[in-house]
A and B are shown apart, each in its own frame.
Chain A
Amino acid sequence: MACLKGLNWLNDEVMNIYMGLLLDRDAERRRAGLVPTCHFFNSFFVNKLYKDAHAYSYKAVQRWTLPKKLNLQNQARALFTPFSILDVERVIVPVHLGNHWTCALIDLVAQEIVYFDSLGGREDKILRALRSYIADEYRDKRNAEVDTSEWPIRYPRDVPLQQNGCDCGVFALQFAEHLSRGAPMDFSQLDMPFFRAKIAADIMTGRIA
């Protein structure tokens, strides 16, 4: 929690607690009939799927999305039975790159992968792994063949950028939060002190205000 103060770097704990709060809020939003419906992975997902072995491994994350596992994350209560992450519109994935945080979006409606990096970077290999993941997930959980190999990988030009070397985690969480409401990325470096305080308050109260 202390890492939210001042200009400190954010750690996995804060990132993943916040992802948990986003999952909770998504369940609330679904009950209220709001879209887009979302699933959020934690910051270790990309490590297991691709990064650690520097090779794609569906098997390493195959069990992460079993209905009973999603149930533990409150997701199954949110209207779908049987529940699969393929039922949502957006899968939001925080990405950890050594000492940098970014955010990827798997848009299951538009059928594209979109990447949000506050330093303007590109990660083709990771994004291609996410694309393959969706095809494997369809095969494993739905017994369906879905060709995702032509889904575009997109790097939006108007992604808000950080102007320092310490706020990427805050940017990544805001990318995730805005994506989950379908809101425009209408923030900048100037908003970061406010977002740090807000994230700390949300974590303290256990709910995204």
Chain B
Amino acid sequence: MAETDQKPDINASEHVNIRVVAQDGNVVQFKIKKKAQLRKLMTAYTERLGLQEGSVIFLYDGLRIQREQTPNDLGMEEEAQLEVMMAQEGGG
């Protein structure tokens, strides 16, 4: 009987789907390992949109993400949403 019990799908729980939302509402989906540093996602995103790295900031629930952080570090759940913000400057 035990063999027919459903085993937890290990592969599914290793990854997380992440939606990256730009300020104009444009969405790009990523699937990454929960233990992988988010630098890969950031680089992939900026390359894909032809942006310079460092010209944008990634936020998760309002907090800036550091490149070395992983989805696990940030307690990200399935369909977590990141926001991409253009860097800001001001003088007067």
Contact = CB atoms under 8 A, between A and B. Distances in A.
B32 interface: no
Contact of A165 (B85, B89, B91): B91
Interface string B54-92: 000101011110000000000100000001010111111
Contact of A42 (B24, B25, B62): B62
Interface residues of A, number: 41
Contacts of B23: 47, 52
A69 B92 contact: no
Nearest to B22: A52
B90 A61 contact: no
Max chain A CB contacts within 10 Å: which of B57, B89, B90?
Answer: B90
A167 B83 CA distance: 28
Contacts of A11: 87-89
Interface in B21-43: 23-25
A165 B89 CA distance: 12
A100 B88 contact: no
A167 B57 CA distance: 23
A166 B92 contact: yes
Contacts of B25: 53
A169 B91 contact: yes
Contacts of A64: 61-62
Contact of A12 (B24, B57, B92): B57
A64 B61 CA distance: 5
Interface string A90-119: 000000111111000000000000000011
Contacts of A41: 62
Contact of B92 (A45, A47, A162): A162
B86 to A, nearest CB: 9
A74 to B, nearest CB: 12
12 contacts: A11-B88, A12-B87, A15-B88, A44-B57, A45-B62, A47-B85, A48-B83, A63-B61, A63-B62, A68-B75, A69-B63, A96-B90
Interface of B: 23-25, 57, 59, 61-64, 75, 83, 85, 87-92
Interface of A: 3, 8-13, 15-16, 41-45, 47-48, 52-53, 61, 63-64, 66, 68-69, 72-73, 96-101, 118-119, 162, 164-169
Given A16-B64, A166-B91, 4 more contacts: A12-B57, A12-B85, A42-B64, A48-B62
